[in-house]
Amino acid sequence: MSSNNQSKIENEASEVKGNKIKASNRIEKSSRRISSENDVSEKNEILPDKGYAWVIMIASFFNIVLAFGSFNAFGVFQTYYLKSIFINETAEKVAWISTMSIGCTLAGGLLADPLIRMYGIKYTSLIGTMIATVGLLLASFSTQIWHYVLTQGVIFGTGSSIVVNISLSVPALWFERHRGLAIGVVASGGGFGALFLIPTITQVIKHVGISWAFRVLCAVYFVVTLVCGLLLKPRKTFIVQKKSFDKETVFRPTSLLLLLSGFLMEAGYNVPLLYFPSSLVDLGKSKEFATNMIMGFCFISAVSRLAFGYWSKKIGAFNITIVSHLITGIATLSMWFSSKSVTVYLAYYFLISIFCASYLSLGPIIIANYYPQEKVSVMNGVTYLIMGLSVLIFSPTTGAVFSKIGHRTDYSQIILIGAIFYLFSAITFIIARHYIKREHNVKTQIL
């Protein structure tokens, strides 16, 4: 009897052990699946800042060139809508196309994190590519405003948001010493992308029409982001967040302040971005001159984002952002708001092209520096979600103020709004900097 009991106990112990081994094997297989999808070997860990890290930076850069550069160039489509297709529609109604495109490109990035959990980095990027290209292709067959809002706005914007989130998050996994430079280079892609997309789209529309402009953009977007997406992978196996929305991380005082700063900055940024070129035309300059100024703005902004990324390690990402937002807010009040001189206007545009978009490159650097690697994608996604909501709320609101109070001729009210948003954004960054110093026990002022 004792022998039977002992045998039974041994069998049960063996069964429990077997179940543990099976469970362990399942976990190991799941881990291997994520690793193999991203071609990572734990046994042969790749050193940061070397070799394939630069391939990751270049691939992420070209992803941003197409994802952010496309909606930077959508002003060309917007002009065509207003002047050719939807002449009898109100500007506010037509503006919903670009508003939804920009808003969804920023706000949809939170979708990337759960997709990374299921499919890994590479395949998540490719999913974004497929969604965005479908949106552009469908836009080429659109004829009504709501068609473009859905295709160019929601579908393309959502796909691009996934590509953007991945491309701003992956370099943080590959770089440590040169992280600021790498993310700065990647973030500058939107500005450089606009430099060749704006004239390309303009010429295609001029010669073969808007439908083929969308198809050409669709083909270029698909090829470039497909190739770059196939190159993306993490440097080593990393723990993927179990939750796509980490309340503990997002609702920390520092996180809330960073999100509020981004929300205010985006609201302020859209004022000169959307309205300064038309204010130049109202001063007597030609539309071609205003378009050339936009090209110059994109180039200088791209170079400055790259430079700020490089200097962030020496000066501090927080310090650069705070000074940049103060300069933008003060210059907006003292130069754009207070003057009607073309010379002063051009000096202002040159100045803000350097400083007004600093957060677009420095925000991801701040997140990469002060958050664990497994939480970088979540925080980037939430940050761009909040910035997207800012666009959706304040872009039509600012347009309504300009139309109803400014009667489409007086820019003073919206200029004041833009300046105030930038100044308040600088204040919230100062407070966030204080919390970061306290949380991480940082003694240096280079922060």
Question: What is the pLDDT, as a whole number, of residue 288?
Answer: 82
Q: Are residues 208 and 292 in the same domain?
A: no
Domain membership flag for residue 314: yes
Tens-of-pLDDT digits for all 447 residues of the chain?
445 555 554 555 455 445 544 444 544 444 444 444 544 444 456 788 888 999 999 999 999 999 988 877 777 887 788 778 888 887 778 888 888 998 898 887 788 888 988 899 999 999 999 999 999 999 999 999 999 999 999 999 999 999 999 999 999 999 999 999 999 999 999 989 988 898 899 899 989 999 999 999 999 999 999 999 999 999 876 555 566 567 888 899 999 999 999 999 999 998 998 889 889 988 998 878 888 888 899 899 999 999 999 999 899 999 999 999 999 999 999 999 999 999 999 999 999 999 999 999 999 999 999 988 888 888 988 999 999 999 989 988 888 898 889 988 899 999 999 999 999 999 999 999 999 988 887 777 778
Buried b (16+ CB within 10 A) or exposed e, 201-231: bbebbeeeebeebbbbbbebbbebbeebbeb
Q: Are residues 194 and 285 in the same domain?
A: no
Q: Are residues 270 and 188 in the same domain?
A: no
CATH number for the domain that contains residue 357? 1.20.1250.20
Q: Are residues 75 and 147 in the same domain?
A: yes
Q: Are residues 172 and 320 in the same domain?
A: no
Q: Are residues 117 and 146 in the same domain?
A: yes
Question: What is the pLDDT, as a whole number, of residue 238?
Answer: 59
Cβ-contact 101, 71 below 8 angstroms = yes
SS3 percent helix, strand, coil of the chain, rounded to 5, is: 85, 0, 15
Q: Are residues 296 and 226 in the same domain?
A: no
Q: Are residues 305 and 380 in the same domain?
A: yes
Q: Are residues 83 and 209 in the same domain?
A: yes
Domain membership flag for residue 365: yes
Angle at 88 between CA 91 and CA 414, to 5 degrees: 15
Domain count along the chain:
2
Q: What is the pLDDT of residues 192-231, one digit of tens each?
A: 998 889 889 989 998 999 999 999 999 999 999 999 999 9
Domain membership flag for residue 28: no
- The two most distant CA atoms of the chain are separated, in Å, by 105
Q: Are residues 103 and 204 in the same domain?
A: yes
Q: Are residues 301 and 210 in the same domain?
A: no
Q: Are residues 305 and 208 in the same domain?
A: no
**Alpha carbon distances (Å) from 27 to 18, 35, 74, 119:** 14, 12, 46, 16
